[in-house]
Structure 1
C-alpha cells in the first residue's frame, strides 16, 4: 500500500539525516545555513518535545506502541480509502518510527534543525518531528473537511 511506502520513506530520510549529523558534527556544534534564521545544530534528547520526560524509555515505548497500534488500525480501517487521511497517518507512522528508532538503538533522539522565528529561538527538532507535525496538520484538515461533509 502506498501509504506505508510514504511512512517508510519518511523513516529512511529521517534516519539518513540523523546518521549524517552524527557522522559529521559534534554534539553542540552549529552550522549557519541562513544567519539568524536557520542552523544545523547537533543536539541529543532523551525526552519528548523540549526534553520533557527525560529518560523515560519505558513510558515512550508504551506510548509509541499504543499510538502506532491505533494509527495502523485507522490506516487499515479508513485511511487506505481516504487519500488525505492515509497521507496524514503515513506521516504520523513515519515520524513516530523515526524517533522511536533513535530511542531504541541510540538511547536518545538526534535533533539538528534549528530555526529562529523573528527573534524566537525555536527548540531544535528533526525530520521525524516535522513529519509528525505535518501528519497532525493534515489530520486536522481532514477532520474539518470530513466534518463539513457530515453537515451537508
Structure 2
C-alpha cells in the first residue's frame, strides 16, 4: 500500500466516524433506536476506554491517544516495507484513534452508539476500525515472521 493510500484510508475512517457520530448526536442523544432484535443504536458517553473501563480518566486518555497517534504516524512510513496488512492495519488504528481523540477533545467523552445485543459493550465506528486494524496489524506481523523462518 502506497503512503498516500494509507493517508487516504486514515482520513476516510476519521471522516466516516465523524459523520456517524454527528448523526448519533443529532438523532440519538440520550435515546435508543431499536433496528432489529440484535441491533440497536443507543447513545452512550464514554469517559473511559473499551467496555467503559477506567471511567472518568478522559484527560489521561486524551494525552495517551495523541501520543500513540503521533508515534504510529512516525513509524507508518517504515511499515510499508513490512507488508500491506501491517500498514493497512496501522492506518485503520490511526484513523479510528483520531476519531475518538476528536470526541475526547470536543465533547470530553467518546460517543458510542452501536449496540449489538450479543456483544457486551456499546461501541462506535472508530472502535471497530481500531479493533479491525489491530487484528490486521497482528496478522501482518505474524505473516512476516513466518516468511522469515
CA contact (8 A) 2:83 2:144 kept: no
- Partner residue of 2:112? 111
Residues matched between the structures, number: 146
Runs of 4+ displaced beyond 4 Å? none
Change (3 A) 1:134 1:122: same
What is the CA–CA distance in structure 2 between the aligned matches of 1:53 and 1:89, rounded to whole Å? 24
SS of match in other structure, 2:112: strand
What is the CA–CA distance in structure 2 between the aligned matches of 1:80 and 1:98, rounded to whole Å? 27
**Structure 1 residue ranges without an equivalent (≥5):** none
What is the CA–CA distance in structure 2 between the aligned matches of 1:3 and 1:16, rounded to whole Å? 20
SS of match in other structure, 2:123: coil
What is the CA–CA distance in structure 1 between the aligned matches of 2:142 and 2:40, rounded to whole Å? 34
- Alpha-carbon distance, 1:70 to partner: 2.2
- Alpha-carbon distance, 1:81 to partner: 6.3
CA contact (8 A) 2:82 2:144 kept: no
- Partner residue of 2:96? 95
Return the match for 1:137 from 135, 138, 145.
Answer: 135
Change (3 A) 1:89 1:80: farther
What is the CA–CA distance in structure 1 between the aligned matches of 2:58 and 2:134, rounded to whole Å? 23
TM-score by length of 1: 0.89
Pick which of 59-68 and 18-27 moved more: 59-68
- Partner residue of 2:53? 52
TM-score by length of 2: 0.91
**Structure 2 residue ranges without an equivalent (≥5):** none
SS of match in other structure, 1:128: helix
